[in-house]
């Protein structure tokens, strides 16, 4: 079982999705080739940057936050201690230390509340936007996202996924420094939501004979199997 996963080895939605239409966006094969959905352990992703669903202190916590801090080691905690925390919707950059990722973008997602949906949506968009900007400003390449705020912070997964995908689409249309975006999920139900919604923002034209997706689907199954046993510690959620 490999200890790290290179984003370049993961199937993109070009491989895994046969077709999908959108009323708002036109199909763009080049953009679609930059999007992956992966069920696995984000601490094993050898990306240029992974995103941590952090709290305002940036000093570690449960779920993905705790897993990233444990895997990165004590040096990460020392660097975070000097950052002065972060506001909701903000992302701050650190080195990856013992992680295979070069950088970590620590973003603070909103705590969801029914009475403040619009504000929560703005803040969650800011999480994804600021993380993408930080990655692009620091060399670009690949970035891995957890599903921010959908754990103990209570953001409904479908609503959060719409925001993640829309923000990414709008960013990638204007910036070519990000070569791969990996949405990292650890539960099958979340993976299904991403797979269902992704073509609303990254539509795919059907290929003749339905050959699209066959090879990539098998590749996706193999990749998920590599890390399936290592994600149990993350099931408390992504902030």
Tell me, what CATH number does 168's domain have?
A: 3.40.220.10
Task: Look at residue 227 and tell me if it is in a domain.
Answer: no
Which pTM does this prediction carry? 0.88
User: Tens digit of pLDDT per residue, the chain (239 long)?
Assistant: 468 999 999 999 999 998 888 889 999 999 999 999 999 999 999 999 999 999 999 999 999 999 999 999 999 999 999 999 999 999 999 999 999 999 999 999 999 998 899 999 999 999 999 999 999 999 999 999 999 999 999 999 999 999 999 999 999 999 999 999 999 998 999 999 999 999 999 999 876 554 444 444 444 444 444 444 444 455 445 77
Q: In terms of residue numbers, what domain contains 92?
A: 7-216
Query: Is residue 22 assigned to a domain?
Result: yes
The three-class DSSP label of residue 151 is coil
For residue 213, give the H/E element and its range: none
Number of domains in the chain: 1
What pLDDT was estimated at residue 206? Answer: 76
21 domain residue, yes or no = yes
CA dihedral 103, 171, 184, 41 (to 10 degrees): -10
Output the DSSP codes for 163-208.
HHHHHHHHHHTT--SEEEEEEEESSHHHHHHHHHHHHHHS-BPPPG
């Amino acid at each position: 079982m490999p200890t790290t996963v290179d984003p370049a080895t993961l199937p993109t939605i070009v491989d895994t999705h046969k077709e999908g239409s959108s009323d708002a966006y036109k199909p763009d094969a080049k953009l679609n080739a930059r999007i992956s959905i992966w069920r696995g352990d984000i601490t094993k992703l050898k990306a240029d940057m992974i995103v941590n669903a952090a709290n305002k202190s940036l000093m570690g916590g449960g779920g993905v936050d705790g897993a990233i801090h444990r895997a990165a080691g004590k040096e990460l905690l020392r660097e975070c201690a000097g950052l002065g925390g972060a506001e909701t919707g903000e992302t701050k950059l650190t080195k990856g230390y013992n992680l295979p990722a070069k950088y970590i973008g620590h973003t603070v997602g909103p705590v969801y509340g029914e009475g403040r949906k619009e504000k929560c949506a703005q803040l969650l968009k800011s999480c994804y936007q600021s993380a993408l900007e930080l990655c692009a400003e620091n060399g670009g390449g690949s970035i891995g996202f957890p599903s921010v705020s959908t754990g103990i912070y209570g953001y409904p997964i479908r609503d959060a996924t719409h925001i993640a995908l829309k923000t990414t689409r709008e960013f990638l249309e204007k910036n070519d420094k990000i070569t791969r975006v990996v949405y990292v999920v650890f539960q099958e139900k979340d993976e299904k939501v991403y797979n269902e919604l992704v073509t609303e923002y990254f539509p795919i034209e059907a290929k003749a004979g339905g050959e699209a997706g066959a090879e990539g689907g098998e590749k996706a199954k193999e990749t998920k199997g590599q890390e399936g046993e290592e994600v149990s510690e993350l099931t408390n959620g992504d902030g």
